[in-house]
Amino acid sequence: MRDPRHQKFVWTARHDCALVDSVLALGDVLADPIRSYPRTKFWAAVSDELHVAHGLVRNSRQCRDRFNLLFSRALLVPTKASRPASLPTETAGPGANQVTPHEHLLHSRSHSHSHSHSQSLPHLHSQMDPAAASEPVLEARLQACALRFRFGNGRSLELNINSPPRANIVIVPPLLPSPPPPPRTGALHEVIHPPEPLEETSVAHPEPRFADLALIHSQLRHVNSVLDTLTADVSSLKTQVNDLQQYLHSQGTHGDAKRE
């Protein structure tokens, strides 16, 4: 049986989106220098954010390795340049811009076909697999990370000097609702995150009744009488013990006198 500490987790596109969201949400703390804010502390905060906000249990090292892999791939993919809306056309003469009726018919058919295809795209997107639908969302978030972060010395995650503010980065909400987070247990987690003390709540006690007070008073009198009886018995036993000791002492003295 595999040890849970060495268990390999499968990262889905939704998990990757949640991880990137957590890093983007906590990215402002990377403005502090490494000496005052170690990156191990940052990835521990990302692990907690991933657990609380998305219900995923991953330790800090798993979060760091997975994000570094995704971020490295995003840096290797060049940003696609936007194509111009209209391309310049070369004019060969006065009749170059004229369109024949046959070309006009082909152009109208192509336009109607592209229009019907664009209308059918929402229906196709609604039938897409959630994992496939998460891919473009993940790519958009990784592009936001590429604009905001960079790798420093030792592949430590740092903020870009010319990175845009976080308010200008559009974060797409998660596609699927996250399940409720399972409870995290363990001695190390209890040491790092001690449980908050429970607030003492005042309990309203009912007012004592006269009959209850009278019953308690009678019980106390009975206890006192029993104690008095026991005290008298103990005193009587002490007296008997003293008498017995004196008798034994006298018998021993009388026997010694006879032997002499």
> How much is the pLDDT for 10?
85
Residue 235 reports pLDDT greater than 60:
yes
| Cβ atoms of residues 162 and 38 within 8 Å | no
Of 118-132, 179-193, 198-212, 215-229, give the lowest mean pLDDT range.
Answer: 118-132
Confidence band of 180 (pLDDT split at 50, 70, 90): low
Handedness of CA 52, 54, 58, 62 (dihedral sign): negative
- Residue-wise pLDDT tens digits, 191-213: 666 667 666 566 666 776 777 78
Residue 174 reports pLDDT greater than 60:
no
The pTM of this model reads 0.44
Residue 104 reports pLDDT greater than 70:
no
| Cβ atoms of residues 148 and 164 within 8 Å | yes
- Residue-wise pLDDT tens digits, 75-102: 887 554 433 333 333 333 444 444 444 4
What integer is the mean pLDDT of 123-151?
Answer: 74
Token digits of residue 69:
């892999």
Confidence band of 1 (pLDDT split at 50, 70, 90): very low
Of 83-87, 146-150, 213-217, give the lowest mean pLDDT range.
Answer: 83-87
The domains of the chain are located at: 7-78+129-192, 210-260
Q: What residue type is assigned to position 35 of the chain?
A: R
> How much is the pLDDT for 211?
76
> How much is the pLDDT for 121?
45
- Residue-wise pLDDT tens digits, 14-68: 999 999 999 999 888 888 776 666 788 889 999 999 999 988 999 999 999 999 9
